[in-house]
Structure 1
Amino acid sequence: MAPFTTRHFVSLGMFIIDELDFDDGRTSREQIGGGGTYAAIGARMWLPADKVGMIVDRGHDFLPEVQAKLERYGKDMWYFRDDKSRITTRARNSYIGDSRGFEYLTPRVRLTPRDLEDTPLAKPSTLHFICSPSRAIAIMSEVHGIPDWRPITIYEPIPDRCVPEELPALISVMPHIDILSPNADEALALLSLPGPVDKSNVEAACHRFLDIGVGKDGTGCIAIRSGSFGAYIATRGNGGKWVDAYWTKENSSHVVDVTGAGNAFLGGLSAGLYFTEGNPYQAALYGAVSASFVIEQEGLPSLTSSTVGAGVPELWNNELPATRLARLRERLHE
């Protein structure tokens, strides 16, 4: 494995304090959230803390216990910026039956590639971002304006802008994106395809995107995240392939909260691209494992080491990610 010369994975996703409201009698509470946070944790499961990163904007209400929890994953992961004139970005997640509502409670502090300049996160090998297709055009324009930097780009369209009206903007930015990854509902909505969400419709959406063209000369990848079905990974040169979710319907008792699973999948996939020399199908197995740890509890997974000392294996939820990767490969005959 070649040595790193820069950060491998950086997300432009926002750090958010989520306020959770339930309709089943559970007490409302707060937890660490944000798609960028979960994506960074998904990559961190495979990479050292100083090779993963994101910006955390701290308001005057930023609690010491939140700081301590983040630093358990490695202080080097986080680049903190302070603004005592505002509160930390907050959002409300409302759970009513199987439906989830989401709304921001504070103004958003959007991040762009220029925010990474003059920080330890500058010019990462892989850049992950979550936004509307229209804003993705502006982000890629900034990327192209920074000299000597051509990162692998992983783009998640933001859910509330996955509407047919955004499709022209998406088509415009797709040649500049290496990996486009909506979830199944978002993919169908962008393309105005009827449901339901099943493997056949996901595959149809994926190949529509391939026909449009993603990446330079159409050499990019589509990764449609599809919940319990897993993820459908496709390139124009090698076609499409399903990668199973680690926890399937047969062992769904392990699934507690799927919040952040798709984000963590993409962080894990990014790490997998490094370890598999750019093979998106094999990299997606790393993503599936990262998602498996995120959904086993409400909030972020725990990180411990099996023994005390430098260089010892790290345990996530008391298990090695590599152990799960080996099991998944065996199950899929990879």
Structure 2
Amino acid sequence: MTIMADNAKTPILVTLGMFILDEFEFLTEDGEPTGKTIPTQIGGGGTYAAIGARVWLQAHEIGMVVDRGFDFPSDIQSRLLEYGPEMWFFREQANGGGTTRALNSYRGEQRGFRYLTPRTRITPRDLEGTRLEKPEFLHFICSPSRALAIMSEVQSIQGWNPTTIYEPIPDRCVPEELPSLVKVLPSISILSPNAEEALSLLSLPQPPSKQSIEQAAQRFLDLGVGVNGKGAVIVRSGAMGSFVKTHDAGGLWIDAFWTGTESKVVDVTGAGNSFLGGLAAGLKLTGGDVYEATLYASVSASFTIEQQSLPLLNNAQISEWNGDSPERRLGDLKRRVGSIPHYVYAQ
């Protein structure tokens, strides 16, 4: 096992999401190769969440376990280190195994995803005894059933009461998982499915509309989101923006940063994950204000969707990403959204 910056302070945010090497396949509607190819890319919801937070926080304030196999490409390692070596906790795969890989297949307009190798899941217990243990914010992506197991581990670790940001995994956002979700919601600080996932879990009709999204958010609150009745639901809704709902301060739509004719959307892969990394950073920087933090989240997502793979950190000293300033975008979004309610999450 290799530990980087093991003498650093505990990060503000740790994600339990996996690091994945993404491979790609492009086919016609008839299943024939199109000839298009893309090199292996950095992937994994945890990776995108970590970079979404990095837009706002220093590298040492973020932590993620990267399970590194014998086949870990040197160019990808170099790319990760450009964001700050302190972010990454590298573990060598047991028994000399390979890095987790997945295939992203595109057949016409249909997209598929499947793992090519066994997955190495990360749990809260994996953080114990490392610089990543007991962070202030914990982000995880999984099924409701596994979320129960994760929160059971969190609650068993003495002296740790993190703000939890839970992102349900898409293929387990099905009505059969709702009973498990209901059991875990009282221990979750912030629940954030996307619009399709929210409606699917609740057996509400598709496609999403603003009315059905607002209905879903209220239903999740009624089902018990939040420790001691204090919590929030944020439904990520693509070009419609995101809908934020709390028990005490009501609901609010926050715009997506890129909308209309000015849109620079190239690839939305990882947008929701980076949104939630930005949310955690925003919660820290605003003293826990969920509504204002969502503005930070929207800006983080805006940098992710401007290209395939991760955004480019041009200048760490002045926090310049893709040739632009997150602070400038935040100011633009604040002016566009106008007055917002304030709700400070506190357990």
Normalised-by-shorter TM-score class: over 0.9
RMSD of aligned C-alpha atoms? 1.3
Partner residue of 2:254 out of 231, 243, 254: 243
Counterpart check, 1:152 vs 2:142: no
Aligned match of 2:344: none
TM-score between both structures, scaled by the size of structure 2 = 0.91
Partner residue of 1:290 out of 283, 300, 308: 300
Aligned match of 2:244: 233
How far residue 218 of structure 1 moved from its aligned partner, in angstroms, is 2.2
How far residue 177 of structure 1 moved from its aligned partner, in angstroms, is 0.1
Aligned match of 2:335: 330
- Aligned partners of 2:253, 2:240: CA distance in 1, in Å? 8
Q: Deviations over 1:58-114 (max 9, x none)?
A: 000001111100000000000000125211000111123333211111100000000
Counterpart check, 1:123 vs 2:112: no
Aligned match of 2:197: 186
Aligned match of 1:257: 267
Aligned match of 1:91: 102
**Are the counterparts in 2 of residues 22 and 28 from structure 1 also a CA contact under 8 Å?**
no
Aligned match of 1:60: 70
TM-score between both structures, scaled by the size of structure 1 = 0.95
Counterpart check, 1:196 vs 2:207: yes
**Are the counterparts in 2 of residues 21 and 29 from structure 1 also a CA contact under 8 Å?**
no
Q: Could you tell me which amino acid in structure 2 is paired with residue 322 of structure 1?
A: E
Three-state SS of the structure 2 residue aligned to 1:282 is helix
- Aligned partners of 1:204, 1:95: CA distance in 2, in Å? 33
How far residue 332 of structure 1 moved from its aligned partner, in angstroms, is 1.2
Query: Which deviates the most, 256-265 or 114-123?
Result: 114-123
Q: Could you tell me which amino acid in structure 2 is paired with residue 202 of structure 1?
A: I
Q: 5+ unaligned residues in a row in structure 1: which ranges?
A: 307-311
Three-state SS of the structure 1 residue aligned to 2:103 is strand
Which aligned pairs between 1:36-47 and structure 2 lie closer than 5 A?
A: 36-47=46-57
Q: Could you tell me which amino acid in structure 1 is paired with residue 10 of structure 2?
A: T
Aligned match of 1:114: 125
Q: 5+ unaligned residues in a row in structure 2: which ranges?
A: 1-7, 28-33, 340-347
- Aligned partners of 1:112, 1:284: CA distance in 2, in Å? 26
Give aligned-pair identity as a percent.
59
Three-state SS of the structure 2 residue aligned to 1:267 is helix
Q: Deviations over 1:211-231 (max 9, x none)?
A: 111012321100110011111
- Aligned partners of 1:263, 1:228: CA distance in 2, in Å? 16
Aligned match of 1:14: 18
Three-state SS of the structure 1 residue aligned to 2:96 is coil
Which aligned pairs between 1:213-228 and structure 2 lie closer than 5 A?
A: 213-228=224-239
How far residue 29 of structure 1 moved from its aligned partner, in angstroms, is 2.9
The number of equivalent residue pairs is: 325
**Are the counterparts in 1 of residues 9 and 60 from structure 2 also a CA contact under 8 Å?**
no
Query: Which deviates the most, 82-91 or 177-186?
Result: 82-91
